[in-house]
Amino acid sequence: MSDIEKVIGANIRENRERKEITQSDLGDLVAEHLGRPWPRQAISAAEKGGRSFTAAEVLAFAAALDTKPGALFEPTSECDPLALALDHIEEARKVRSRARWAVNEYVSFVSKVAEEARVNPVLGDALLTLKASWEEQLAQHKGDPESDDSSTKSASLVRVLEGNLEVLCDIVKDMENEDQS
């Protein structure tokens, strides 16, 4: 789950403990506000940051805990903003590493396919089309202010690479099937 679920969960736990009520009792209070059951296990998962929350659930928790909804979003001592930021940096490094690997695999695969394309014009045309698609995606990301985040760019480019590799693999399989016929 994301950091916001961890923050909300930590605040729910702190407020529940402040009120000196059990998870089951909190579940009953939340259920009254939502009109549907909230078992102790769901409260436990929520407090651990292990589930997402709807707006109605946040409002129900705030009402059940006699606090303002905004207070559930404030970082706690348990959810150190620096630690959360470091988690994001580490995740971005992992995404960037996967993106580099995907690009290297893509380049290697395309090089092999390019060799084959010299003798097969159908594959050569497909390769040129995919190359144009890749270049178009790169150009879009360079000019897109929404994708300034490097992990967003990397993840998006990995999806493009995976799509292109799937298309190339399908073309190669079709060609192999034609050769066998």
User: In this structure, are 33 and 120 located in the same domain?
Assistant: no
Instruction: From 49, 73, 97, give the residue that closes a domain.
Output: 73
pTM for the structure as a whole:
0.46
Q: Of all residues in the chain, what percent carry a pLDDT higher than 70?
A: 55
Per-block mean pLDDT, blocks of 10 residues, the chain (181 long): 82 94 96 93 93 92 94 74 68 76 72 66 69 70 54 62 68 66 64
As for how many domains the chain has, the answer is: 2
CA angle in degrees (0–180, nearest 5) for 171-177-181: 145
Please state, in angstroms and rounded to a whole number, the distance separating the CA atoms of residues 44 and 32.
18
145, 104: one domain: yes
Same domain, 19 and 42: yes
Contacts of 93 (CB under 8 A, 6+ apart): none
pLDDT at 79: 60
Hey, what are 107's tokens? 């380049």
Same domain, 16 and 95: no
Q: Do 66 and 97 sit in the same domain of this protein?
A: no
CB 47 within 8 A of CB 6: no
Is the domain of 103 the same as that of 151?
A: yes
- One domain for residues 15 and 102: no
Q: List, as one string, the DSSP characters of 57-91.
A: HHHHHHHHTTS-GGGGGS--TTS-HHHHHHHHHHH
Question: 170: domain range?
Answer: 81-180
Do both 94 and 166 map to the same domain?
Answer: yes
88 shares its domain with 146: yes
